[in-house]
A and B are shown apart, each in its own frame.
Chain A
Amino acid sequence: MEFKSISELQSLLNDKKISVKEIADTYIKKIKEKKDLNIFIYFNEDKIYEQVKNIENFSNEKKLKAIPIAVKDLFCTKNMPTTAASKILENFHPTYESFVTQRLVDMGAMFVGKTNLDEFAMGSATNTSYFGNTINPLSEKDIPLAPGGSSGGSAAAVAADLCLGATGTDTGGSIRQPASLCGVVGIKPTYGLCSRWGIAAFASSLDQAGVFSKNVTDSSILLEEMAGYDQRDSTSSNVKIPNFSKELNADMSGKIIGIPKEYAVDGISDEINQVWEDAIKSLEKKGAIIKKISLPHTKYALPTYYIIAPAEASSNLARYDGVKYGFRADDSNSLDEMYELTRSEGFGKEVKRRILIGTYVLSAGYYDAYYIKAQKVRKLIANDFVNRFSECDFILTPTAPSAAFPLNEKQDDPIKMYLNDVFTVPASLAGIPGISIPYGSDKKGLPLGIQILGKHYNEQEIFNAAFALEKDYE
C-alpha cells in the first residue's frame, strides 16, 4: 500500500477508510522490510504505538494528524534518544523537545523513527555516521549507492516510502543535495525561518531546518507548520509565515529567472547540463523570461564555507566533554586526560578534522587571515545575490554535480568530497531559501535535481516555480 500525499492519507482518515493504528501498522511493516538500508538510527514499534493512542484523541482538523514523519537524528526528541550519529552522544536522552519537532507533534504528526546522518551533519554521503552507511533505496543490488548527506537517512526514508515527510537540516546543502540524489523534494528555507532550538548545533550562522517530501505540495504544508518565531533562538525571525500550500500557483508568466553563468562549472556531466537546459526551456514555455546573470564570487563560496563552518563547529562542539551527557572514556587520571580521551574516542575522523581546522583558523595570529577574511568574502557572496535579485524573481541551477555515487567513492580526498556542495553552499552563505526537486535522470536512470533559489523570506516564489516544474512529470 502506498500513499502518495498528505492530502490523500488525510481523506482516507476522514472517510474512516483507514485508522490511525492501521497507518502505524502499514509504515512499521514497510520500515521492517527495508531494514537493510540502514535508514534509521532509532526505530521502536512501541514508541510508535504509544503515539497512536495520543493521536487518536486529536481532532481531524489537526493539519498533520497521523501523518508519518521521519526525524533526522539531530533534532532533540523527548520520547526517542538523540545521537547526532556520534558515539559521543550514544545513549543521550534529551530532556526536552526541539521547537520544530514540537510543532509537528502539536499538529498530530506520527514520528516513525530517527534517521541516520553524517556525524554532527558533517558530510555529503551519510558515510561518516558512527552507526554505519545508509544505502540509497534507488541502488541496484550489486552496487550500493550513497544517499547523499548529511540528511541522507531522511531523504532515503521518503524515497523508500517509509514516511510521507522527513525533517532535515541544511548547513551547506545537507537537505538539497540528498534530496537530489534520492529523487525527492527538499527545501532549505531562509536562515532564521525555523527555530534552531533543540537541534544539535554544527555551524550556527548557517544551520537551518527544513523538510523532505514526495511532492512540492507536501513540503509546503510541512514547512508552514514547522516555521515560526521562537524566542529561545536569538536568530529566529519574527516574520509572518504565509500559507504556502494554499497560495501555490504554477503560473510562471512574466517571471524573470536568473541563470548564473558561474554554475556552468568544469567537470559537470552533459546529462546534468541537459536537465538544467530542459528546466529552463520548460519554464520559458510556461511564460517565464530567461535572464543570464553573473554571481562573480561563486567560486570562492566553498573555501569560504570550509573556514566558517569548521570555525563555528569547533566552538559548538566544545560542549561534548564527557561530563554532563553522552560518552565518557574510561581510565583517565586527570580531568584534562578525561576530556582528551573522551573526545578522541567519541568523535569520528571527519568531525575531528573539522574541529582542528576550526581551532586553527580561530587561533591567535590566524584569526584575521582566515576567519575574518572568510566573513568578508561571505559578505561579497551575499551581496552578489542581493544585487541580482533586483533584476530576477528566482535563480535556477542544478542541485548537485552528480547523480547518486557508489558508497565510499569519495571518501579519501576531503576536498573532492566537499565539491558535492558546490551548487548548494553559496545560498547557505547568503542565508537565502533553496529548494531541490527531481527533474530528469541520467543514463542509468538515476534521478537528477534542479535547484531554485529565492530572495530572503520568499519561499512562496520558489515553491511556485518548483510546483510548475513538477507538472512536467505528472
Chain B
Amino acid sequence: MKLDTNTINKIAKLARIKLSEQESKDLLKDMNSILDWVEQLNEVDTDKIEPLANISSSSLPKRKDQAEDINSSDEILQNSPDKLEGYFAVPKVVE
C-alpha cells in the first residue's frame, strides 16, 4: 500500500477535484493497485539512459514570432459560463 486516504485527499486538493468519501475509498484501491503494477519498472536498469521527452525524430523547425488574429474576444466569451462587461466572471476572490 503506497497511498493512504490522507495522501489521496492531498493529491485531490492539488488537482482541484473534490472527492466524496466513497470516491476516495474506490480511488485508494485502484490507485494502489496501479502503482504496485508500475513498480515492475524498477527491474529495468536505466543507469546512463537519457529520459525520452520528445519522440519526434525530425528536426523541429521554429516559426516566426508573429501575432496572428484568428478569433475575436466576443466569440470566445460566448463560451464562458459567466461573463461581465467583456471579462470572464468568477466567484468573489477578495472581500
Q: Which residues of A contact B (CB under 8 A)?
A: 92-93, 95-96, 191-192, 205-206, 229, 231, 234-239, 297, 299-300, 303-304, 306-307, 314, 318, 321-328, 332-341, 343-344, 347, 352-353, 355-357, 359-360, 363, 370, 372-380, 382, 414-415, 429-431, 456-457
Check A379–B91 contact: CB distance below 8 A: no
- Secondary structure call for the A interface: helix
Check A95–B75 contact: CB distance below 8 A: yes
Check B88–A231 contact: CB distance below 8 A: no
Interface residue B67 (Cβ < 8 Å from any Cβ of A): no
Alpha-carbon distance between A190 and B38 when the two chains are bound, in angstroms: 26
Check B55–A191 contact: CB distance below 8 A: yes
A to B CB contacts below 8 Å, 18 in the list: A93-B78, A95-B72, A96-B71, A191-B55, A206-B55, A234-B60, A235-B54, A300-B43, A300-B44, A307-B38, A323-B90, A326-B81, A332-B91, A353-B27, A357-B34, A372-B51, A375-B53, A376-B51
User: How many contacting A-B pairs (Cβ < 8 A)?
Assistant: 172
Alpha-carbon distance between A318 and B56 when the two chains are bound, in angstroms: 25
Check A382–B55 contact: CB distance below 8 A: yes
Task: Please indicate the chain A residues that have their CB under 8 angstroms from the CB of B23 in the complex.
Answer: 352
Interface residue B1 (Cβ < 8 Å from any Cβ of A): no
**Residue of B at shortest CB range from A91?**
B79
Check B15–A238 contact: CB distance below 8 A: no
CB < 8 Å: which of A192, A235, A334, A456 contacts B91?
A334
Task: Please indicate the chain A residues that have their CB under 8 angstroms from the CB of B78 in the complex.
Answer: 93
Provided the pairs A343-B16, A356-B11 are in contact, do residues A431 and B57 lie with their beta carbons within 8 angstroms?
Answer: yes
Check B56–A353 contact: CB distance below 8 A: no
Task: Please indicate the chain B residues that have their CB under 8 angstroms from the CB of A363 in the complex.
Answer: 11, 14
Alpha-carbon distance between A237 and B61 when the two chains are bound, in angstroms: 8
CB < 8 Å: which of A324, A357, A376 contacts B52?
A376
Provided the pairs A303-B38, A376-B51 are in contact, do residues A356 and B8 lie with their beta carbons within 8 angstroms?
Answer: yes
Q: In whole Å, how far is A152's beta carbon from the nearest beta carbon of chain B?
A: 22
Alpha-carbon distance between A339 and B17 when the two chains are bound, in angstroms: 7
**Residue of A at shortest CB range from B64?**
A231
CB < 8 Å: which of A314, A372, A374 contacts B15?
A314
Q: In whole Å, how far is B6's beta carbon from the nearest beta carbon of chain A?
A: 13
